[in-house]
Amino acid sequence: MKSPDACSRPPRDTEWQEGGLSSARGFTLIETSIALVVMMVAALAATSLFIYAMTNNSGANDRAIATAIAQQHIEQLRSTTSFTDASLAVGATGTQTTTLPTVTAANRNYVVVRTVCNTAACGGSSTLKRITVQVTLQGAGPAWARTPITVTSVRSALMIGTN
């Protein structure tokens, strides 16, 4: 007859032998630590990549806003009704550079510089004015985002052509 302890014991599995486990083995603390270090290095690399992308996206947004401001100012000057309008006036030197009030957009400050020229030195003439608007981000942001955006346009006087 069997003892009561022998009946309550589960049947032997093929992995179990008299002395303990034969082939079943777990991870050691050192193996687990090494795996955690490898995962940490990968996670830090991904984090630095995300930070780099966020910085570049922020700078690109600043440049896009500066471009929009420059285009808006150029369109205002191009829409003037007269070639001799005061906003297109040039001094005795044939060039007038005006620094406009600081424009604030998306919590950033932008400096706008407008230049109107009607001399041959800048590509203008007595019937042609070269208009340049330069917008520069002030303060924060990456250095490459603070380089000026320059938009140039040409405005001509109304004339009757030879055709």
pLDDT tens-digit profile of 17-39?
555 555 557 778 999 999 999 99
Distances (CA, A) of 90 to 30, 33, 138, 152: 78, 73, 27, 16
**Residue 18 confidence (pLDDT):** 55
- Beta-carbon neighbour count of residue 58 at 10 Å? 16
107: tokens are 């919590």
CA distance 130 to 73: 14
Q: What pLDDT score does 10 carry?
A: 58
Predicted confidence at residue 39, as pLDDT, reads 95
25-156 belongs to CATH 3.30.1300.30: yes
DSSP class of 120: G
160: Cβ–Cβ under 8 A, 6 or more apart, which residues? none
Has residue 5 got a pLDDT over 90? no
Residue 6 has pLDDT above 70, yes or no: no
- The closest alpha carbon to 98, from 120, 76, 83, 127, belongs to 76
Between the CA atoms of 78, 84, 87 and 88, what dihedral angle is there, to the nearest 10 degrees? 70
By C-alpha distance, which of 72, 147, 148, 66 is closest to 108?
Answer: 66
- What's the whole-model pTM score? 0.68
85: which 2 tokens? 């309008």
pLDDT one-digit tens code per residue, 99-158: 889 999 988 999 999 998 888 888 777 788 898 999 999 987 788 888 999 999 888 877
Distance CA 51, CA 29 (A): 33
* Three-class secondary structure of residue 62 per DSSP: helix
